[in-house]
Amino acid sequence: MLNRQRIILYMLEKAGGSASRIQLMQWTFLLRQETPSRGGSAFYDFLPYKYGPHSFQLDQDMGNQVKSGLVRAPDDKTWSLAEGSLVPPAPSQEILDAANVMHQYGEMSPQTLIDSVCSRFPWFTINCENPGRRMLERPTADPAVYTIGYQGLSIDFFLNFLLQSGITALADVRDTPWSRNYGFHRGTLSRLCESIGIQYWGFPQLGVPSGERTGVDSEQDRETLFCRYRERIPREQSQFLASLAEKVRDRATALLCMESDPSMCHRSQLANLVSERTNLPVAHLRGTS
């Protein structure tokens, strides 16, 4: 079990064994924001959602805890420790910080807790279901051909970075749009993007087939691969290239692949092809967790 999961179970225990999902989400957010340990090096990242800060990874972890039998979900608003569940120990500093968060905020009602968090962290209100809670407007990026790689990022950090960058659409240009990292499989990514108002489009036709990537080890190999790509795509996939260019003209769209460094990824070549058709500059986005 990961340390972050142990901390979640500890917070549930300190809450008397049960808490609303909104409360647990806010407590973990405050642990990340307001304590020296920040929950540890692999703790949750957060993004603006319906009731303020949210972590899809935390949802996934709790779902796994329900499957394991350590946690119950008596309804779609509550998480509870299963009867007889023993909370595994976690690092002392993180537990001390979690205890302080629970001492300060554990008795607050969900409504009061949301009000407190939203008033102090206005960025996380931009997607609130209640328009009256929104304290900031969602930004929109200037027209450009944006690209981004998700390597090394959590799904929550990645989506929050897109929102902060003003991206309103994601064009997945992976040939095989799946990943072992939670959130980056095409189906899950599409669903999560939709839930925060980012349009998702799949363009596997504009990816590089895995067979062509095999054995590409040197800079010369990569340049040869990219040269073939630049020649092949306009000739064989002109329809999809034109469609992507049209979407990029219409809204702030980021071309998505895995590699963090765009110079190591075919998306840099594709961005140049789209730029030639739209007369828009290329802008490579990248955040660090």
Pair (113, 70) in one structural domain: yes
38 pLDDT higher than 70: yes
Q: Considering the domain boundaries, does residue 138 fall inside one?
A: no
Residues 76 and 173 in one domain: no
Instruction: Say what the alpha-carbon torsion angle 17, 21, 24, 25 is, to the nearest 10 degrees.
Output: 170
160 and 112: one domain? no
Question: Residues of 231-242 as b/e, b for ≥16 C-beta within 10 angstroms?
Answer: eebeeebeeebe
Considering the entire predicted model, what is its pTM? 0.95
Give yes or no: residues 188 and 227 share one domain.
yes
Same domain, 102 and 156: no
In a domain, 159, yes or no: yes
Kindly state the average pLDDT of the residues 191-217.
Answer: 91
Q: Structurally, how many domains does the chain consist of?
A: 2
Strands 145-149, 253-257: parallel, antiparallel or unpaired by DSSP? parallel
Owning domain of residue 105: 3-133
Tell me, yes or no, whether 15 and 69 share the same domain.
yes
Q: What is the CATH number of the domain that holds 237?
A: 3.90.190.10
Together in a domain, 225 and 256: yes
Q: Is residue 140 part of a domain?
A: no
| Structure tokens given for 262 | 């765009």
In this structure, are 198 and 69 located in the same domain? Answer: no
Task: Report, as an integer, the average pLDDT of 88-96.
Answer: 87
Nearby residues of 141 by Cβ (< 8 Å), 6 or more positions away: 165, 166, 167, 168, 252
How high is the pLDDT of residue 288?
59
91 pLDDT band (50/70/90 cuts)? confident
How sure is the predictor about 66, in pLDDT bands with cuts at 50, 70 and 90? very high
d(CA 236, CA 134): 46
Domain identity same for 70 and 37: yes
Residue 206 has pLDDT above 70, yes or no: yes
Residues 237-283 have pLDDT tens digits of: 999 999 999 999 999 999 999 999 999 999 999 999 999 999 999 99
The reply to whether 121 falls in a domain is yes
122 with 183, same domain: the answer is no
Tell me the pLDDT band of 289, cut-offs 50, 70 and 90. low
Residues 104 and 182 grouped into a single domain: no
Domain end point (choices 113, 133, 153): 133
DSSP H helical ranges for 129-185: 155-164
- Both 91 and 177 in one domain: the answer is no
Q: How far is CA 49 from the centre of its chain?
A: 12
Rounded to an integer, the average pLDDT of 23-38 is 97
Domain C-terminal end among 133, 157, 183: 133
Q: Answer for the pair 40, 98: CB distance below 8 angstroms, yes or no.
A: no
Please say if the pLDDT value at position 72 is more than 70: yes
Q: Long-range CB contacts (< 8 A, 24+ apart) of 80-83?
A: 80/12, 80/17, 80/18, 80/19, 81/9, 81/12, 81/13, 81/17, 81/18
